[in-house]
């Protein structure tokens, strides 16, 4: 009788320990999936950008869907990001001459480590597929260029957000909020963010 009670107590303790260990492992896994945060500093010309708030919300949602938390802040990137986050500086250009990167809505400098690494050509973005909505397209353009910087690469994918040239079907997916990253890009983004976070921590 006593032996049975002892085994019951031991089994109960084991179950409690296993449950707590599982919860701890789940929290650790969730933390690892989230990884370091990304802070994007956005500088604007003196002209207001239609749909900018929606664009930031869309970009935050898209990166959040793959476990990368993003925060947007106004102004220039500080000399160092003390919080342990990875930071990128982006510039929203109201108007650019046609001879500058003709046909492009934006460009990134993926191999740089500081300064303005992304330029968005707002006038061209606003004139592209207007039925999709300026905030929607702007958000995807921002995500595309941020991804180049995080990946540290100028490569493009066959499909999804990182395609070199979007088509009508892609704009339709943008409008419904369903244009995804290709799985290869997700792996490259997470690896690139971790790499930059490690580099920033060493610098600090």
- The arithmetic mean of pLDDT across residues 69-85, rounded, is 77
User: Taking the C-alpha atoms of 51, 53, 56 and 61 in order, what is their torsion angle to the nearest 10 degrees?
Assistant: -100
Average pLDDT, the chain: 82
Residue whose pair of structure tokens reads 């983004």 in the numeric block: 189
Is 190 within 8 Å of 35 (Cβ atoms)? yes
Q: Which two tokens stand for residue 56?
A: 């930031």
Q: Which two tokens stand for residue 194?
A: 């971790």
Q: How confident is the model at residue 81 (pLDDT cuts 50, 70, 90)?
A: low
Q: What is the pLDDT of residues 118-167, one digit of tens each?
A: 999 999 998 998 888 889 999 999 999 999 999 999 999 999 999 999 99
Per-residue pLDDT for 15 more than 70? no
N-to-C CA span, the chain: 63
Per-residue pLDDT for 6 more than 90? no
Q: Which of 110, 143, 109 is nearest to 125 (CA)?
A: 143
Strands 70-74 and 38-44: parallel
Alpha carbon 116 to chain centroid distance? Answer: 17
> Which region, left, alpha or beta, applies to residue 97 given φ > 0 means left and ψ of -120 to 50 means alpha?
beta
- The arithmetic mean of pLDDT across residues 153-182, rounded, is 96
> Which region, left, alpha or beta, applies to residue 135 given φ > 0 means left and ψ of -120 to 50 means alpha?
alpha
Per-residue pLDDT for 104 more than 90? yes
Alpha carbon 180 to chain centroid distance? Answer: 12
In this predicted structure, what is the pLDDT of residue 99? 93
Per-residue pLDDT for 183 more than 80? yes
Which range, 10-19, 31-40, 158-167, is most confident?
Answer: 158-167
In this predicted structure, what is the pLDDT of residue 38? 93
Q: Which CATH class is domain 36-203?
A: alpha beta
CB neighbourhood size of 96 (10 A): 16
């Amino acid at each position: 009788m006593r032996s049975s009670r002892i085994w019951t107590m031991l089994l109960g303790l084991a179950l409690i320990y296993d449950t707590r260990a599982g919860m701890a492992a789940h929290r650790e896994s969730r933390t690892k999936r989230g990884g370091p945060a990304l802070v994007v500093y956005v500088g604007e010309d003196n002209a207001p950008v239609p749909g900018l708030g929606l664009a930031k919300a869309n970009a935050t949602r898209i990166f959040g869907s793959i476990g990368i938390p993003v925060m947007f802040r106004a102004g220039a990137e500080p000399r160092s990001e003390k919080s342990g986050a990875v930071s990128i500086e982006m510039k929203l250009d109201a108007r650019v001459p046609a001879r500058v990167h003709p046909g492009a809505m934006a460009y990134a400098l993926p191999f740089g480590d500081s300064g303005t690494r992304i330029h968005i050509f707002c006038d061209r973005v606003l004139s592209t597929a207007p039925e999709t909505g300026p905030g929607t397209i702007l958000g995807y353009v921002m995500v595309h260029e941020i991804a180049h910087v995080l990946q540290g690469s100028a490569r493009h994918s066959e499909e999804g957000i990182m395609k070199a040239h979007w088509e009508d079907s892609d704009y339709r997916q943008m409008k419904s909020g369903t244009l995804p990253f290709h799985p290869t890009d997700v792996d490259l983004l997470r690896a690139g963010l971790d790499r930059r976070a490690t580099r920033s921590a060493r610098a600090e």
